[in-house]
Amino acid sequence: MNLNMNSAESLVAQIQGLSGNIADLTQLRSYLNQSYDLLRAESTRFAPLLNELDPSIHSLGYLYILEACTSASISKEQANELVLSVARFKDQVVLLEDPMRGVAPMLTALRKLQISSEQLTTLHPDFLLLCLLSKCYKAGLSILEDDIFDVDQSRDLFLYCYYGGMICIGQKKFRKALELLHNVVTAPMPIISAIAVEAYKKYILVSLIHLGQFSTSLPKYSSSAAQRTLKNFTQDNNLGLVKQVVSSMYKRNIQRLTQTYLTLSLQDIANTVQLNSPKEAEMHVLQMIQEGEIYATINQKDGMVRFLEDPEQYKTCEMIGHIDLSIQRIMMLSKKLTTMNEVMSCDPSYLGKVGKERQRLDFDDYDTVPSKFCI
């Protein structure tokens, strides 16, 4: 049978009428399963039906139609409708305080909108926000592994990097978190944004955790707005990170001891690192051993810690494969950077700006040629 306008209205009526209780939902699911092939076949005609449904009440039917609409190639106009529908759905699951329900559908819609894995869509920030609220950090990491080169809206990039940085903090992937937060702070911006301010606060704390230090000056390629504004720092809504900073300082001091001593008592470690007791020192050492930050053994009888060398010989098949993947990724990024540089070098607006810059230079701006090179 064909899905005409009457059957479309019938489908909406069925969804609206059978979304009241568990028994009705079971019947609705059976009906939707029977109609699913037809839904996919006529998917382009069903996107407007989403406006007649409330995601908070008709979530099952809403998801079936949404998935059918994303199962085939869609036009730009349909993509815009899809984005609006998914945004409504995201707002509803957040309002219901059940963000986990939106993670899988949002990821499906996101992948459908992407032309390639290098493109940042407007759904990326919403998806990462749902992952944060639901603590589905591993789901968020699945898209943070992609290398992004194509960005339409700067705000999407700021939120993507900010939420992504917070997800990496949740997974204690501080190196990746620093990279993402650094992108927010140093990205071009005419005026400073609240997102950049919050990212800068977390950037400082994560720098202290991961590196044990932070620089008070921003890189030269940061925007002038960021250079002027990001000087003051207040610790609001960052208590969890501050506690991790304190813990990381103790760990870093213990790591310094491994460079000087082969054996040391837990009491000596506690005194040197300024911990309250040998028991607390033992807790920190055990945690560092478990996380692979140091290599050591603890003798429970006499309370002595013996520091060991890194057992990794860098010659196992697993390590060689890891190094090979890293080399391949670096080569790919180098090739991509070269291509982007060639495209930019031919861009008329870039060439025009460079030409204006050169016109402002005079001979006094250039170094004199050494006499031995004069003709």
Q: What is the dihedral of CA 142, 148, 152, 154, to 10 degrees?
A: 90
Domain boundaries, the chain: 1-72, 250-307
User: Got the DSSP string for 293-330?
Assistant: S--EEEETTTTEEEE------S-SHHHHHHHHHHHHHH
With CA atoms as reference, report the closest residue to 305 among 347, 342, 364, 257.
Answer: 257
| CA-to-CA dists, residue 292 to 208, 231, 255, 262, 333, angstroms | 19, 35, 11, 17, 29
Q: Give the pLDDT score at 52.
A: 81
Q: Give the pLDDT score at 358.
A: 63
User: Got the DSSP string for 203-246?
Assistant: HHHHHHHHTS---SS--TTS-HHHHHHTT----SS-HHHHHHHH
Q: Give the pLDDT score at 96.
A: 81
50: left (phi over 0), alpha (psi -120 to 50) or beta: alpha
Q: Are 81 and 47 in contact (CB under 8 A)?
A: yes
Q: Give the pLDDT score at 166.
A: 94
Q: Give the pLDDT score at 79.
A: 66
Q: Give the pLDDT score at 375.
A: 43
Cβ-based burial of 123 (10 A; exposed 0-12, middle 13-18, buried ≥19): buried
Q: Give the pLDDT score at 113.
A: 79
Q: Are 217 and 226 in contact (CB under 8 A)?
A: no
Q: Give the pLDDT score at 231.
A: 59
| 3-class SS of residue 53 | coil
Rounded distance between C-alpha atoms, residue 168 and residue 174, angstroms: 6
How does pLDDT run along the chain (375 residues), one tens digit per residue?
A: 344 445 677 888 888 888 877 778 888 888 888 877 777 777 667 767 777 888 778 878 877 777 777 666 666 666 666 677 777 778 888 888 888 888 888 888 888 778 888 889 888 999 999 999 999 999 999 899 888 888 878 889 999 999 999 999 999 899 999 999 999 988 888 888 888 888 888 888 888 888 877 776 777 778 777 777 765 554 556 667 777 777 788 888 898 898 888 999 999 999 998 888 999 989 999 988 988 889 999 998 888 999 988 887 777 888 888 889 899 989 998 998 898 888 888 888 878 877 776 665 554 554 554 544 444
Residues 6+ apart with CB under 8 A from 125: 156, 159, 160, 163
Tally the residues of the chain: 375
| 3-class SS of residue 277 | coil
Longest dimension (CA), the chain: 94
Q: Give the pLDDT score at 216.
A: 64
Rounded distance between C-alpha atoms, residue 301 and residue 72, angstroms: 67
> In the 8-state DSSP scheme, what is residue 368?
P
Is domain 250-307 given the CATH code 1.10.10.10 in the classification?
A: yes
